[in-house]
Every structure is written in structure tokens, then in C-alpha cells.
Amino acid sequence: MLRSYQVAEFAKPLVASESPLPEPTGAQVLVKMERCGVCHSDLHIWDGYWDLGGGKKIVAANNGSLLPLTMGHEIVGTVVAKGPEASNVEIGQRRLIFPWIGCGSCAVCQSGAEHLCAGKAQALGVFLNGGFASHVLVPADRYLVDYGSLNTELACTYACSGLTAYSALKKIGKLPDGQSLLIVGAGGVGLNGIAMAKAVTGQAPIVVDLDPAKREAALKLGAKDAIDPRAEGAGKALVKATGGVAGAVDFAGSPQSFEFAYGALRKGGHLVSVGLLGGQTTISLPLLVMKGVSISGSYVGSLVELKELITLAQQQHLPALPIEVRPLDAVNGALEQLKAGGVVGRIVLSN
Ligand SMILES: [Zn+2]
Ligand SMILES: [Zn+2]
């Protein structure tokens, strides 16, 4: 049997459900879930909407996501069955699953950016059933990634929080010495970003978070400094000390976090916006021009980037963010705790 915890109604506790094990066809692979991270984006999927600001929302029910749905997209599992065309994996192999699966045929998918699919996306735990379950049916064997000797709990977080952080930091690129990197938000994605910032950009980041426990976790993972943005004159002091930052990543995604990061940029600086807390902001057009800054959005990452990240993690032994393993049955409590902001690092479910 396939045991799962499903969203039956948006924002209501997940409901335990059982169904017969699916039989993989074609290149499909059936994976027994071993570890699955609980991600902040699960909270948005669970709520069923994203806050666009100005009273506007994206509603999941209008966006192809139909209930009941099994969430969970940071999955490591063991291959237990496969279709006849799944020739790149063997039964018994443990693999990390790339969950950001697209339609495969739209122009965006064809360019290699399946995670940004403009057609009928099939992301696991968002549109197709994901990892808050005993088993996951993966649409094709090409989405299974060998994570070698990496720790299983850490490896699963690389499917979303790690990949998201990696793709955002890659957009900043290498920064020469003397140039500063700012990371706003030290939640699960932010902490993974802090852990890999030096390896990807060449610079240890200055970190901003409201929560002292998260600032402390940031410093332990190699942050150069950790600032409380509510402290009097925090933004001005940062600009004075650094001359303005060359790169900034906003892992929170609220008007306050974005404005703090944008205000900290030096001329020619680059802000990458990642978080999905929601809202909107106003930008002075002449200042955007005269400062010559750039702003990019970055949403999760590609299959190629996930493989790059796994290679980087193996070569450079990236430090692990704090991880707490709990049984799959504890998923509702984990979501509630994450919603309340009471998680430093990652809760990972085990099966
Ligand atoms: Zn597509
Ligand atoms: Zn996620």
C-alpha cells in the first residue's frame, strides 16, 4: 500500500490516506521515500495561494493544482520498481529526486529550464503527489540524481532549499575580494545559501534576520556578520561599513526584506529576489537608472544546477544546516511549527 498525508482541504490538517502501489510504466520509477524535507513553500501550497500584493493572489485551484494533493518536494528514496524504459537506475539504488518537472515540450522546458515550465508543469508535491508518503511515483528516471556519499538528510534539502540557494547565488556570480555579499533571511533556504555562499561567490555573506536564533545559526555556518534589521540605523551602518554591497539575495521576499536589500546595494550592484512571503514594493525609476543596479527573480533551479550543486557539495564538504529528523506521521506538527516561525534549519521526515 501507498500511505500518504494529503491536503484534502487547503490550510486544514493533512489527512492520512492509503491507496494501492502504482505500477510504473514507460520511464517511470517508483521510489520508497526515505527522507523528505518540510519546506517553507509547502506552507504556501498548503494555504492554496500566493500573496501578490495589492490584494491580489495566485490561487492554486486556478493553477492546475487539484486536491487531494500529497505535498513534499525534498525527497530522497530507494528505487523499488521501474518501467521498462527506465534504464538509468537499478532497483535498490538510493537517489535524490529532482522535483521541478515540467511538461518537457514548451519552449522554456526545451531551453533546459523545466523548473520554469510555461506549459503543464508536473512538479512533485505541487502538481503531482510528492514525498509526504511511503512511496513516490517519479515520471522518468532522468530526474533521479546520484548523491554519492553525501549525508541523506542534508542531500534531500538540496532538492529545493539547496538548489534554490545555489541558483540564486550563481546569478550573483564570483565577487572579488573587498566586495560584499548580503543575504537577507536565514530560514531553511537562507541557511543553505549561507553554507554555500563562499564556495559559489567567493565571499562569506553578511546576514540579516529578525530572529536572534537564526542569526546565531548563520554565524555558525560561516556568515561574516549577522544583523538585526530593526536595530536603529542598521541599513545605513551596513552601507557605511561596506560602501554598499555588490550582491544581495533576498530569501524572505517581503516588502521590508526586499527594500532593505535593495537599499544596501552599491552602484552597479545586483539583487536577486527569491523569497515568496508576498507583497509588493515601489521603486524609484531614476534611482534604478542612475545607480545602474539590476534586479532578478530566481525560482528554484534546473536539473543541471542540482547536479552541479551535488558535485560542489561533494568536493567542498559544504557545512550542513541544523536538521531535525522526525517520523512521517509527525508531518502536521512540523508544518504548524514551521508556520509559527519556530524552526531553525530544517525538519526532515523519515519513513
Ligand atoms: Zn514546459
Ligand atoms: Zn521548497
The CA 277 to ligand 1 mean position distance, Å, reads 25
Q: Among all ligands shown, which has an atom nearest to the Cα of 103? A: 1
| Structure confidence at residue 295 (pLDDT) | 98
| Structure confidence at residue 61 (pLDDT) | 65
H helices of the chain, in order, are 40-47, 107-110, 152-157, 163-172, 188-201, 212-220, 234-242, 255-264, 285-291, 303-316, 331-339
Q: Among all ligands shown, which has an atom nearest to the Cα of 126? A: 2
| Structure confidence at residue 327 (pLDDT) | 98
* 328 in Cβ contact with 349 (< 8 Å): yes
Which residue type sits at 187? G
| Structure confidence at residue 59 (pLDDT) | 80
The CA 336 to ligand 1 mean position distance, Å, reads 33
Which residue type sits at 41? S
Q: What is the DSSP string of 165-205?
A: HHHHHHHH----TT--EEEE--SHHHHHHHHHHHHHHSSPP
Grid cell 520508497 — which residue?
A: 32
The CA 44 to ligand 1 mean position distance, Å, reads 22
| Rounded alpha-carbon distances, angstroms, from residue 4 to 113, 139, 165, 285 | 29, 18, 28, 49
Task: Quickly count helices (H) and strands (E) in the chain.
Answer: 11, 17
The residue extents of the domains of the chain are 2-160+301-350, 161-297
Among 263, 198, 202, residue whose Cα is nearest residue 227: 263
Q: Among all ligands shown, which has an atom nearest to the Cα of 120? A: 1
| Structure confidence at residue 50 (pLDDT) | 82
Among 70, 198, 96, residue whose Cα is nearest residue 153: 96
Among 222, 253, 193, 240, residue whose Cα is nearest residue 53: 253
Q: Among all ligands shown, which has an atom nearest to the Cα of 189? A: 2
The CA 169 to ligand 2 mean position distance, Å, reads 17
The CA 127 to ligand 1 mean position distance, Å, reads 13
CA atoms of 131 and 122, how far apart (whole Å): 14
Q: Which residues, 6+ apart, have CB-to-CB distance to 270 below 8 Å? A: 171, 172, 246, 247, 248, 293, 294, 295, 296
The CA 45 to ligand 2 mean position distance, Å, reads 10
Q: Among all ligands shown, which has an atom nearest to the Cα of 164? A: 2
Q: Among all ligands shown, which has an atom nearest to the Cα of 45? A: 2
The CA 237 to ligand 2 mean position distance, Å, reads 33
| Rounded alpha-carbon distances, angstroms, from residue 214 to 157, 344, 348 | 17, 6, 18
The CA 42 to ligand 2 mean position distance, Å, reads 6
Q: Among all ligands shown, which has an atom nearest to the Cα of 73? A: 2
The CA 74 to ligand 2 mean position distance, Å, reads 7
The CA 302 to ligand 1 mean position distance, Å, reads 12
| Structure confidence at residue 328 (pLDDT) | 98
The CA 218 to ligand 1 mean position distance, Å, reads 36
Instruction: Kindly report the number of other CB atoms within 10 A of residue 268's CB atom.
Output: 11
CA atoms of 125 and 184, how far apart (whole Å): 26
The CA 272 to ligand 2 mean position distance, Å, reads 17
Q: Among all ligands shown, which has an atom nearest to the Cα of 37? A: 2
| Structure confidence at residue 212 (pLDDT) | 96
CA atoms of 124 and 136, how far apart (whole Å): 9
Q: Among all ligands shown, which has an atom nearest to the Cα of 112? A: 1
The fold adopted by the segment(s) 2-160+301-350 is Quinone Oxidoreductase; Chain A, domain 1 (3.90.180)
Q: Provide the phi-psi class of 121: left if phi over 0, else alpha when psi is between -120 and 50, else beta.
A: beta
The CA 125 to ligand 2 mean position distance, Å, reads 9
As its CATH architecture, domain 161-297 has: 3-Layer(aba) Sandwich (3.40)
- Averages of pLDDT over each 10 residues, the chain, 351 residues: 95 96 98 97 89 83 74 98 97 98 95 94 95 98 97 96 97 97 95 97 98 96 96 96 98 97 98 94 96 97 98 94 96 96 92 95
The CA 117 to ligand 1 mean position distance, Å, reads 4
* pTM for this predicted structure: 0.95
